[in-house]
Amino acid sequence: MHNNTVIYIFNRLVRLAILFFILYLIFTNFGTFLMILGIFFVIIAFLVYNFKKKMRANNFSFKFDSTNFQNANSFNFNDFKNFNQSDFQGFANAPRFDEVAKAKEFFGFTSSPSKEEIKKRYKELAKKYHPDINNGDDEKMKELNHYRDILMKTVE
């Protein structure tokens, strides 16, 4: 009897040791992962809560109502024909760095020019590359106009 009790206690201790070892592995690696995940969700919930709170404070509400689109046939796309491309400023219309470098090289600038310098040099080069002077060849003039537009976008 005594022998069975020792074996029973030993089996219980081994099982308990294995259980604690498994719990240790879970909570050291997976537990850390779960804590990070929990913190992430708490932060997201906090941001969403504050965003909603701010929207309610400004009396903002979005309601989709199909009656707002009853007069969709009266929309005229021709209203957008009068917009100039230069009206839309921002990164989307900013020239690439290599284009600016090519434009400066074409105009003969080594540093960033002013608007007046660009206009002056443009007039000089237009006299040189105009199609009437070059027997109708307008490739250089097109290039000149393109590079002038690029340089004008870079000048403030």
Distance between CA atoms of residues 136 and 144, nearest Å: 15
The pLDDT value given to residue 8: 82
Q: CB neighbours (10 Å) of residue 149?
A: 14
Domain layout of the chain by residue ranges: 1-60, 92-154
The pLDDT value given to residue 35: 72
DSSP structure string for 4-72: HHHHHHHHHHHHHHHHHHHHHHIIIIIHHHHHHHHHHHHHHHHHHHHHHHHHHHTT------GGGGTTG
pLDDT digits (tens, 9 = 90+) for 21-57: 877 777 777 777 777 777 888 999 899 888 888 777 7
Among 153, 126, 156, 124, which residue's Cα sits nearest to residue 141?
A: 126
The pLDDT value given to residue 36: 75
What is the average pLDDT value for the chain, to the nearest integer?
A: 78
What CATH number should be reported for the domain whose range is 92-154?
Answer: 1.10.287
The pLDDT value given to residue 71: 57
pLDDT level of residue 152 (50, 70, 90 thresholds): confident
pLDDT digits (tens, 9 = 90+) for 101-121: 888 888 888 888 888 999 999
pLDDT digits (tens, 9 = 90+) for 46-86: 998 888 887 777 776 666 666 655 555 666 666 666 665 55
Distance between CA atoms of residues 53 and 59, nearest Å: 10
